[in-house]
Homo-oligomer: A and B are copies of this chain.
Amino acid sequence: MPNSKYMAKNLTTRREDYSKWYNELVIQADLAENSGVRGCMVIKPYGFAIWERMQTELDRMFKETGHQNAYFPLFIPKSYFSKEASHVDGFAKECAVVTHYRLKNDEDGSIVVDPDAKLEEELIVRPTSETIIWDTYRKWVQSYRDLPLLINQWANVVRWEMRTRLFLRTAEFLWQEGHTAHATKEEAISEAEQMMNIYAEFVENYMAVPVVKGLKTESERFAGALETYCIEALMQDGKALQAGTSHFLGQNFAKAFDVKFATKEGKQEYVWATSWGVSTRLMGALIMTHSDDNGLVLPPNLAPNQVVIVPIYRDDAQFEATSAVAVELQRQLRAKGIRVLFDNRDTHKPGWKFNEYELKGVPLRIAIGPKDVEKGTVELARRDTLTKEFLPQEKVVDVVEKLLAEIQENLFTKAASYRASHTTKVDTYEAFKEVLDTKGGFVLAHWDGTAATEERIKNETKATIRCIPLDGEREQGTCIVTGKPSSQRVLFAKAY
């Protein structure tokens, strides 16, 4: 039975205005907010707790595949960007530039930049770290014995975006960036593929977001990459979101920064490279995939609190009786490794708390009132379906364990089914445009493989090629625009 009594009152619905719904949800669910610094967000404790759960799982997966963490400088000398020709065009543009290293008191008492403290060479706040890292790898790699280098960094990066949105596009964001060095091309390619697969596994199994694995077209590739692997997800408004990328960089950075190694046979060769990253953008994907008009919906695998227990009472005696049940249930659930919050604050009423945890997407809510104490029951409410049931206290642990798994699966299934119904094969440019204008979503169409056609489609429809799917079937066809032959459909969508 839907639990409409406690619906959030102030949230715009998705149907009314999806974009407004998203912005309000991020604020109301206490995930993040804009700061006093243009384009930079504050990640609030609840939002950060979800990001920390993402970090924990990803970090474990990276380490299980032999990667180590390290830390490289925030600043990159301007000249480093010029060393890799295609990289400079992609990244040395909209970025934060440090030009001075001192402030001083002005005559009128205000503080001003000290003109005497101008840097000889400007420093760029890292938009990505390939250049500073490959400048370092030159010192670390001499021999095949030093390879592979499998290194990851958790860091903040800055790209001076003009139009920003919380989590989706911000001037500063948090991410991890892996940077690996290998003796052979094959090993580097297989690393890039491995990391794409790890990202897909994480996004599907923890975030409950289904993804399409694929390759970027040349024009959508990372600046400096020979091949960009990606995972693409579909949001509830029919727009795509790139959830992670993994790049095979060839020997471009090794050549730019002169990183060579002696092979077993004593020859000098350039090192092969990959880089790969996911960012706080994943928070945007998580929010937009599962949430509803009542607020956030979190998959249990990433929920900071998987269960919240709310006591309902009118006097001290009732508080003590309901709390005793709550504390015991919390103990039992925690013993099973379940993350449980017992909210015994007396500063807020139960109705307020119900609303709060619905808005914050806590997967399961247990309410315990005086009648429950009498009858030995609790009320259990599911966030994903908004249904509730009464059950005996002794069954709580088993039911909660089962339901958490069920909710995780249900969210994935729901998202996968939405995606299935919003993935359309089209064979003409007219049908292509109609699908984009009406239901949106992924569109699978034949393309002649040229940047010119890709560009024309983008200009005319705002849709881009999200990827050339890796598991796409080979199928002869003709380009929807030029009629030229094509051997595989590619995945188009409007995107975040």
A contacts, CB < 8 Å to B: 33, 35-37, 40-45, 48-49, 52, 68-78, 80-82, 88, 92-104, 110-111, 113, 122-125, 132, 135-136, 139, 145, 151, 155-156, 158, 160, 172, 174, 347-348
Contact = CB atoms under 8 A, between A and B. Distances in A.
Nearest to A139: B33
B347 A145 contact: yes
Nearest to A45: B68
A71 B48 CA distance: 7
B132 A111 contact: no
Copies in the complex: 2
16 contacts: A33-B136, A35-B135, A37-B75, A42-B70, A42-B136, A49-B69, A74-B172, A82-B111, A95-B102, A96-B100, A96-B101, A99-B99, A99-B100, A99-B113, A125-B125, A145-B348
B145 A45 contact: no
Given A37-B123, A101-B95, A74 B158 contact: yes
Contacts of A49: 68-69
Contacts of A82: 110-111
B68 A88 contact: no
B101 A160 contact: yes
A391 to B, nearest CB: 31
B151 A41 contact: no
Nearest to A154: B154
A36 B70 contact: no
A70 B93 contact: no
Given A111-B81, A174-B71, A125 B97 contact: no
The 5 closest A-B pairs by CB, nearest first: A40-B73, A45-B68, A43-B71, A97-B100, A101-B160
